[in-house]
């Protein structure tokens, strides 16, 4: 079975400071990892993914994430936070061995609040 | 491209009523799925489909039915609505194993 943990319900950061949103995962085979963002009353928007290749993945809006296989983590980062980054962030994983299509397991979400 | 569209945006049902949530995509994606989002629980997979005529259960399938007669459409049916089905429902599509594209959601309240 695959699972995802987002240990922080909320992360607060001042605008201009770096931000990190944490994610750890568990899968049987090689992981496919994703980050999504959700703004109020909207659907989820894709930010970035790791399937294979470089451990540092760059995505939309200046976000990046680092895949760490030994720590089974995929933390989301941004060097300088903006107030407009305030939103709900979801980490998701699928097992690369799964034969039943693109089944994703989502974390419970982390609310990011960026303050002036 | 319109992407993934969902109707209706909002719906209020009484316990025991049935209804169908509509989902359509125009990206020729083979994979489609339905999730429900509840506070503090993230998104949970209800049903998914890997192509026309092929569906399977996700994590929380009870009380829901799906069918996939065309590549474009993937409706979700609530057979007899219960208050526990009050939630926000999202449809998504993708070409596996790439990222999923999500619709805007349907907010359902069951009284």
Q: Which two three-digit tokens encode residue A53?
A: 């290749």
Mutate to test the interface with B, among A33, A36, A48, A102 (most CBs of B within 10 A): A102
My answer on whether omega of the bond before A58 falls inside 30° of 0, hence cis, is: no
For A61-86, how does the pLDDT look when each residue is reduced to its tens digit (9 = 90+)?
999 999 999 999 999 999 999 999 99
Q: How many inter-chain contacts (A to B, CB under 8 Å) are there?
A: 62
Interchain CB distance below 8 Å, A104 and B45: yes
Query: Mean pLDDT of all residues in chain A?
Result: 92
Residue A99 has pLDDT above 70, yes or no: no
**Residue B52, CA distances (Å) to A93, B68, B69 in order:** 24, 5, 5
| B42 part of contact set with chain A, CB < 8 Å | yes
Contact A72, A25 (CB under 8 A): yes
For B52-96, how does the pLDDT look when each residue is reduced to its tens digit (9 = 90+)?
999 999 999 999 999 999 999 999 999 999 999 999 999 999 987
């Amino acid at each position: 079975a695959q699972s995802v943990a987002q240990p922080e319900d909320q992360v607060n950061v001042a605008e201009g400071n770096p931000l990190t949103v944490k994610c750890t995962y568990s899968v049987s085979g090689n992981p496919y990892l994703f980050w999504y963002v959700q703004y109020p009353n909207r659907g989820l928007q894709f930010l970035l993914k790791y399937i294979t290749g470089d451990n540092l993945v760059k995505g939309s809006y200046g976000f990046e994430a680092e895949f760490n296989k030994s720590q089974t983590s995929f933390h989301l980062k941004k060097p300088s936070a903006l107030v407009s980054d305030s939103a709900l962030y979801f980490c998701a994983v699928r097992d690369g061995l799964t034969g039943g299509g693109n089944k994703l397991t989502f974390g419970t979400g982390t609310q990011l609040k960026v303050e002036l | 491209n319109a992407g993934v569209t969902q109707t209706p945006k909002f719906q209020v049902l009484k316990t025991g009523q049935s209804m169908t949530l509509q989902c359509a995509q125009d990206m020729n994606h083979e994979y489609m799925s339905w999730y429900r989002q509840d506070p503090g629980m993230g998104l949970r997979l209800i049903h998914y489909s890997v192509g026309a005529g092929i569906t399977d259960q996700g994590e929380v399938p009870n009380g829901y039915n799906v069918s996939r007669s065309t590549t474009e459409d993937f409706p979700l049916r609530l057979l007899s609505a219960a208050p526990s089905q009050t939630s926000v429902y999202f449809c998504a599509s993708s070409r596996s194993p790439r990222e999923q594209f999500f619709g805007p959601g349907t907010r359902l309240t069951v009284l």
